[in-house]
Amino acid sequence: MSHQVTVKPSGHSFVVEGDATVLSAAIDAGLGLPYGCRNGACGACKGKVLQGEVSHNDHQASALTDADKANGLALLCCAVPQTDLVIECREATGSNGIRPRIMPARVQKMEKLSHDVMALYLKLPSNERMQFLAGQYIEFLLKDGKRRAFSLANAPHHDELLELHLRLIPGGTFTEYVFNEMQEKAILRLEGPFGSFYLREDHEKPIIFVAGGTGFAPIKGIIEHILHQKTPRKMVLYWGARSLEDLYMPELPMRWLEESNLFSYVPVLSEPKDEDGWQGRRGLVHEAVLEDFADLSAYQVYCCGAPQMVDVAHQAFQLKGLPEDEFFSDAFTFSNPPPKPAAA
């Protein structure tokens, strides 16, 4: 069974075969529908069903509430058409028709950046390069059929190796394998690139980057792309972490400060340790932005980190005047989330 989907206002259309989701079929068709996690957790792919019906695969209730459903909204990464559809959704521009590909990759180098962050540098076959936009991500294809997604931390011009930053997740099968068993020269299968979190280069507005933890990785790629292109846009990076050791590449933003007078940097710690001797900003990273900017109407925001941080920042920034279509996000989700602490 196949169903046709028409996207408004662009008028683009594509066919969804069998039990495929609207988003997966759109990706296969080369259309740039916005999305983030592709597993029903972040809500970035939300669109409105104007005509037709869909059923939803498993997803998190916070990503699509009952009120959303009552208003005709759907999560396109989980929505399976039951009829032909007409949907309303803004399309991401600038993807240049890049389509994901499956390919092998060799672990060229492993570098421990902190107690719980590992950098992987992957080498594709000698005759291959992955075309991608700064900020996008790849997915590892595991032997059990599952996938694990990680953002690309390098800029497209520096593509000899693909750079990923992996945080160790307690109970996380893949990250525990990487930290405890994986060796250099290991062969992995990956697919990519994916994601609508990338620089909109047809704008001149100043940019506020908001990173939580390893949400720094795709933002690193975007900033390095801007610096390489010598794009004359003002940028400020707010990087939030728990303690000083969690700012796992502390020298890099300082290097960017030396390289460009258009770049500024605000590290923010939520729980600095006594031994950190921290004299900088404290608290939640998005609150530091709110303290510094009374009006966000003239800015673009690129925000990456935990879903809760991204959601709270999105709502708070809109109240400060940020236009809805100037907030770009990538919410990190975990297949084996850390257990919640027991109540005291």
Q: What is the pLDDT of residues 34-55, one digit of tens each?
A: 787 778 877 878 999 999 999 9
Query: Span 131-143, mean pLDDT?
Result: 94
Say yes or no to pLDDT of 336 above 70: no
**What is the predicted pLDDT for the residue at 86?**
96
Report the alpha-carbon distance of residue 200 to residue 119 in Å, rounded. Answer: 26
- Pairing mode of beta strands 187-194, 101-114: antiparallel
pTM: 0.80
Whether cis (ω within 30° of 0) applies to the bond prior to 218 is no
Q: Which fold has domain 101-194?
A: Elongation Factor Tu (Ef-tu); domain 3 (2.40.30)
Tell me the average pLDDT across 109-129: 95
Q: Would you say domain 2-88 falls under CATH 3.40.50.2300?
A: no
The DSSP bridge partners found for residue 135 are: none
Q: Tell me the average pLDDT of the chain.
A: 91
CA distance 101 to 120: 20
Domain spans in the chain, listed from the N-terminal domain onward: 2-88, 101-194, 207-331
CA distances from 97 to 11, 32, 133, 149 (A): 17, 8, 11, 21
Residue that the structure tokens 């990680």 belong to:
150
The domain defined by 207-331 folds into Rossmann fold (3.40.50)
Q: What is the pLDDT of residue 42?
A: 79
Does residue 340 register a pLDDT over 50? Answer: no
Confidence of residue 94 (pLDDT cuts 50, 70, 90): low
Work out the angle at residue 25's Cα, subtended by the Cα atoms of residues 99 and 100, and round it to the nearest 5 degrees. 20
Nearest to 311 by CA among 297, 329, 298: 329
pLDDT single digits (tens) 142-173: 998 899 999 999 999 998 999 999 999 999 99
Tell which residue, 23, 209, 207, 221, has the closest CA to residue 137. Answer: 221
